[in-house]
Structure 1
Amino acid sequence: MSNSIATLILAAGASTRMKDKIKQLLPWEDSTLLGHTIKQAKAVSNLCYVVLGANSEIIQKTIPTDVKTIQNPDWANGMGHSIATGVSHITNRKKELKGILILLIDQPLLDATFLMKMKNIFDSGAHRIVATSYGERLGVPAIFDKSLFSQLQELNQDHGAKAIIMKNKNYIAKVEPLGREIDIDTLEKYNQLIEN
């Protein structure tokens, strides 16, 4: 386990497509989607941060005390704003970091083994970004080099870090998820995964 990178879990959204459920707290294995993601992230780095927004009071109670939480009061402004809030918080406290791994709570099949593969590639020092490949596009989980922290802090829309990834496409290592890239964006998708 390393402190050369921090992990930043985005868990601020309201999960509007989940009907009346709080997506972060849906059961997964012996935990919740958020709890499972934290466990995977902590296998990569013991510097683990979670950005909270909607339902933060309820979700906060489920987070282990060794995981730092970051409140994003403007979470409704989208994923980009949560990334900027999280990266600003981390870099103000941890100046020596080489990179930040950004991940979501709704991709539970992308486990610690996958994240460690990303980290090992990043640690080689040959790439500014190590991103997950989704066919023709790239996305999170992704590790961003410290040279990109200022760009991440300027995000303020719902497009996340896609523009930064595209701008640096010549400096990216792609990691194939090999069918594990399933994104739980609806209650139906969640129920299908649980049943299988």
Structure 2
Amino acid sequence: MKKKDNIAILVMAAGTSSRMKGIKQLLPWGESTLLENALKNATASKAQRVLTVLGAYKKEILDSISLGKQDYVYNPNWKSGLGNSIACGTRHLLDSDKEYKGILVLLADQPLIDYHYLDSLITQFLDSRNSIVATDYGNRVGVPAIFAATHFEALLQLRSDFGAKEIIKAHGNEVLKISADGKELDIDTLEEYERVKKREQ
């Protein structure tokens, strides 16, 4: 597979998962964990760079998962929410020598998102004139989503726990909506985790 050297993926794994006992990122999924599953699919995609943003459980995650120093960034302000962590990851990417055409934001707790879907987002982004390609949830649009370079400054300015959805809402006419066919499910509670795990495995 030919990698697209102008696309980077941010894997968001900095949260504390307050609605779930234990460390959500390290919950078993298949033969690995939720985070490793996200990383496997991100790495298998056409994206050239995959960067994980860590926060609340940095030590525990690094003790459990092998991440090279170039493959993650620690956000000391992770308590400020998802938006702050996206800004941290974006800043780290832009401080590198690479120039990216797009940054794809991926959550670690959406285990059904596979590399085929990530590739479809990347392909649609590169083939269209839309500056944002995002996942269609029916009643809203959200991540996984790719943001063109024209939105990098807005990503850097994120501070709240609302992630990038405000950017998507503000530029609705520039958004290409893609259906994930049910793969967009994210896990917020232990009950959801057990239900999805039982159904899928």
One fold, TM greater than 0.5?
A: yes
Partner residue of 1:23?
24
Unaligned 5+ segments in structure 2 are: none
User: Aligned pairs, how many?
Assistant: 195
Q: Which moved more, 1:90-99 or 1:153-162?
A: 90-99
CA contact (8 A) 2:6 2:48 kept: no
Deviation, structure 1 residue 41? 0.6
Deviation for aligned residue 1:65 = 2.6
Query: 8 Å contact 1:132–1:177 — kept in the other structure?
Result: yes
Q: Aligned partner of 1:115: which letter? A: L
Percent of counterpart pairs with the same letter? 45
**Equivalent residue letter for 2:185:** I
Moved more, 52-61 or 148-157: 52-61
Cα displacement string for residues 139-179 of structure 1 (whole angstroms, at most 9, x for unaligned residues) = 00000001110010000001111111011111111110112
Q: How many angstroms does 1:136 deviate by?
A: 2.1
Tell me which of 143, 147, 156 is aligned to 2:159.
156
Instruction: Look up the match of 2:92.
Output: 89
Asked if 1:171 is matched to 2:195, the reply is no
Question: Unaligned stretches of 5+ in structure 1?
Answer: none
Distance in 2, Cα, partners of 1:106 & 1:57: 19
Distance 1:48 1:82, change over 3 A: same
CA positional deviation for 1:31: 1.0
Tell me if structure 2 keeps the 8 A contact 1:48–1:67.
no
Amino acid aligned to 2:15: G
The TM-score with structure 1 as length reference comes to 0.95
Does the Cα contact within 8 Å between 2:10 and 2:52 map onto a contact in 1?
A: yes
- C-alpha distance after superposition, 1:65-122 (max 9, x if no partner): 3861111001010001000111011011144110100010111111111110000001
> Is 1:38 aligned with 2:39?
yes
For 2:66 and 2:141, how far apart are their aligned partners in 1? 29
Aligned residue among 49, 53, 61 for 2:55: 53
Confirm or deny: 8 A CA contact 2:155 2:164 kept in the other structure.
yes
Once superposed, which parts of structure 1, at least 4 consecutive aligned residues long, lie more than 2 Å away? 63-67
Residue 194 of structure 2 is matched in structure 1 by: 191
Task: Give me the whole-angstrom Cα distance separating, in 2, the residues matched to 1:2 and 1:86.
Answer: 19
1:124 offset after TM fit, Å?
1.0
The letter for the 1-side match of 2:77 is: D
CA distance in 2, matches of 1:18, 1:146: 35
Q: Per the alignment, in what secondary structure is the counterpart of residue 190 of structure 1?
A: helix
1-side partners of 2:183 and 2:128: how far apart? 26
2:147 alignment partner in structure 1: 144
Aligned residue in 1 for 2:16: 14
The alpha carbon displacement at 1:32 in A equals 0.5
TM-superposed CA distance for 1:195, in Å, is 1.5
